[in-house]
Amino acid sequence: MPPRSARSGNRLDTGLLIACGLASVLALLLPDRLSDPVAGIVRRTVLAPLLGAQQRTESMRAAIAARGAALQTGAAAAEQALRAPALERENATLRGLLGLAGRVRSGFVIADAFHPTGVVDDFSLTIAAGASGGVTAYAPVVTADGLVGMIEAVDRTTSLAITWAHPDFRVSAVSADESAFGIVQPHLGQGADRYLLELRGVPFRASLDSGSLVVSSGLGGPYPRGIAIGTVISELPTIERWSRTYLLKPSVLPSSLSSVMVLLSSAPREQLLSAWTNVQAADSAMRAVVAASDSSARQAAMAELAARRAVMQAAADSARADSAMAGLGPAPGVQIPIVAPGGRPPAPVPGVRVPPPAVRADTGRRPPGAPR
């Protein structure tokens, strides 16, 4: 048998339920002129706490939804900001490869490049092109900026390439002006120096200036002639007295690659010879044209200034001559001849008084035609 408190609670609940039911029936039976006031009184008294709780719940739900939308918008903006530089670099790489493809014309495969372990690895790349696309071992891997490395192993649809940062990388090289030959290999330094190259074995009589372009020579290896490798930074001190060693800045950074070009054996050598050096020459020619245009502009300005000075001098001379003709006496810097050619006095000019010839101090005699 349930306790007395439980029985009393059940009776109270039952009584409240019956009272609410009767109140509902009574509200439905009320005429329209009385139902609205009664409903307002019920909302302000009995239902006021429930309506307030519902309002607070709706406000909290709207705040949570707005906060979630703001967080999603911020996350999307942050993701886009992080991806924008990468997309810009990828677009620049693709545009460069399209330009290189137009210069090479045939005998190549363009493919995506990945780092094998999922992290940045400067020594090797996985390329999404294999034997089915004509890729073979030892094929050069390049970009629009220059040499990346070569294919080491080939599968049917993928291939593995080593980059110039690999310790076993070697390439025969020559300066763009063909004044120095040597072998390029990784610098193998510490820190930032590990991203540099060395040009070794350069004859001592050959000297390269800073900024000189070094390209592949096409001798003794799979790399055709003319692929840009790097630019000279400085000469490295060595104990060898018969050759020089130069430090090079690479043309390509493997860590930033997303797409590459694999050169096939059918690539035209004559097109590769000028695919990279012509770009360098075009840049130099453009700078020369700009400098020449600046020099021409300066020369034209100086010529115009000289012409203006000549006109102003002629106007000043004319003004002095007019002053002398008007009887104001000779202007400074203007000489009036005293004796005409042949020893005869000049013809008189109206309005101009010609002074008489002076007596020569060395003889005391008057010149011919002087008045006594």
Q: What is the pTM of this model?
A: 0.53
pLDDT band at 28 (very low <50, low <70, confident <90, very high): confident
pLDDT band at 93 (very low <50, low <70, confident <90, very high): confident
**DSSP letter at 150?**
E
- Decide which of 316 and 70 is more confident: 70
Query: What CATH number matches the domain at 96-285, 2.40.10.350, 3.30.830.10, 3.40.1350.10, 2.60.120.560?
Result: 2.40.10.350
| Range with lowest mean pLDDT among 10-14, 252-256, 270-274, 275-279 | 275-279
Mean pLDDT lowest among 71-85, 253-267, 324-338: 324-338
319-363 pLDDT, tens digit per residue, is 666 555 555 444 444 444 444 444 455 555 455 454 555 444 444
Cα gap 197→148, rounded to integer Å: 12
Which tokens go with 283? 């840049």
CA gap 96, 251 in Å, rounded:
13
In the chain, where the domains are located? 96-285
CA distance 319 to 184: 76
pLDDT at 82: 63
* Of the candidates 333, 339, 340, the residue with the CA atom closest to the CA atom of residue 318: 333
Residue type (1 letter), 204: F
Residue 369 pLDDT class (50, 70, 90 cuts): low
Highest mean pLDDT of the ranges 77-86, 198-207, 339-348: 198-207
DSSP E strand stretches across 164-209 = 171-175, 181-186, 197-203
